[in-house]
Amino acid sequence: MVEYEILPRLRERFSLPQPPVCLRLTTFGRSESDLAQSLDTLQLPPGVTMGYRSSMPIIELKLTGPASEQQAMEKLWLDVKRVAGQSVIFEGTEGLPAQISRELQNRQFSLTLSEQFTGGLLALQLSRAGAPLLACEVVPSQEETLAQTAHWITERRPTILPGWHWLFRVSRTSISTLR
């Protein structure tokens, strides 16, 4: 009723402004103050604001403004992405788990996770995003070297990984990837 009756009548009586434009990207590893200092020299169009949302080491950058400034914002956005550089992990509102899931599916890979210090959080987030998970486990926390991780993977591969898959083993000392 609201969509088909009320809103059309409101639109007839009042000129409603276009919704604002919001461009977003997410970075990893740089501090909010470092990014802000690097972006401080950019000239923002009228009514446009640069916002930061910090959850270290993740920083989200948002450029928000009126739809009338969209073209200028998109031009400025190229500079924002250049300043953020290699610290950009993704652009837009879709989260990292969804992007990892999509990339795994595009490459026809499946994923096996063995988590130590994340308590199953990676498996949970990737599972919710529909990632092709072959197997997941949470193992007790322990120090291990990269060589120990490689040995563990070699030892487990015949039973867990019957085909070509990625294996991520997350530990305090290393993150290793095998294909």
Q: What does the pLDDT average to over 22-35?
A: 94
pLDDT value at residue 151: 80
**Reported pTM:** 0.63
Domain ranges of the chain: 2-91, 96-178
pLDDT value at residue 125: 94
pLDDT value at residue 85: 94
Does the pLDDT value for residue 138 go beyond 60? yes
H or E segment to which residue 157 belongs:
helix 146-160
What pLDDT band is residue 171 in, cutting at 50, 70 and 90?
A: very low
**Using an 8 Å Cβ cutoff, are 57 and 10 in contact?**
no
More confident of the two residues 46 and 139 = 46
Q: What does the pLDDT average to over 137-160?
A: 73
Report the CATH number of the 2-91 domain: 3.30.70.2860
pLDDT value at residue 8: 86
Q: HSE-up of 57 (CA within 13 Å, CB side)? A: 6
